[in-house]
Amino acid sequence: MELDLEDKVAVVTGASKGIGLAITKALAREGARVVAGARTIDALSGLDRVTAVALDLVAPEGPARLIGRALDDHGRLDVLVNNVGAVKMRLQGFLGTSDDDFAWSMQTNFFAALRATRAALPAMLSQGAGSIVNIASVNAFFEPDAGVLDYGAAKAALLNLTKSLAQEFGSKGVRVNAISPGPVSTDLWLGKDGVAHTVARATGVDPDTARKNVLASIGGLATGRLTTPEEVATLAVLLSSPLTGNVTGSNFVVDGGLIKTT
């Protein structure tokens, strides 16, 4: 399917690995010119149609710098994918999660997207068109335990912002949608500081057993496997396309059947 993204200008945050890298590559394959931001950019080196920008997106000035680079290089901005995010397992629950822990999660998972959106909107409004895709999480509304309570709160804020911005700017041609992945085969789940390894160290089992135990404890996946970053990227690219021009204020769950309710 032709998605009408040829020579559109897209910014992707947290673009150097996992979902962000998959989205960057998928947008470039569709002909978009991608300005990809991350702290380390080695994985982005040599990608056709991709400009890699090394910067800290959690720093207050970072998101605006990335948007500014896209506008300086290309003179327009058509797509923003707010992907940057991180989680730390809170094995001590609510009483063991400090204000600083919550602040870290909000800065990483909410304020980085908020600032990037604030920087991107003027350019989109001036051209009367744009698409913003926020990568949220099922943990915004699904909290089977306290292990990611601060992360879930931050992602819930991002979902709320998505709805609000869609209402405010829909009549001006700017669409804002969210994707809420469940467990994805990225460092967040499988890395040395991810869910599986963290739970493994705490419970005295190997990471693969820990991963299976965690998934079983939250109800299991109907497909029996983690979502791939490329599957999330496919949906992000579709939402970036003008072909989904009347889709806004929506949240799309990609979770392998984790959420059982309607």
- How many CA atoms, within 13 angstroms, populate the side-chain half-sphere of residue 119? 24
Alpha helices in the chain, H assignment, sequence order: 18-29, 62-74, 99-106, 112-127, 149-169, 187-190, 195-203, 207-217, 229-240
| Under 8 Å between Cβ of 131 and 175 | yes
- Say whether 151 is catalytic: yes
Phi–psi pair at 112, nearest 5 degrees? -60, -45
- Give me the count of residues in the chain: 262
Q: For residue 78, give the 3-state DSSP assignment.
A: coil
Burial of 187 (0-12, 13-18, 19+ CB in 10 A): middle
What is the Cα–Cα distance from 54 to 101, expressed in whole angstroms? 25
Q: Which of 151, 156, 184, 254 is catalytic?
A: 151
What is the Cα–Cα distance from 228 to 88, expressed in whole angstroms? 21
Neighbour order of strands in the sheet with 9-13? 50-54, 33-38, 9-13, 79-82, 130-135, 174-181, 251-254
What is the Cα–Cα distance from 126 to 132, expressed in whole angstroms? 15
Residue indicated by tokens 């304020």: 111
**Adjacent-strand bridge partners of 253:** 180
Catalytic residues: 151
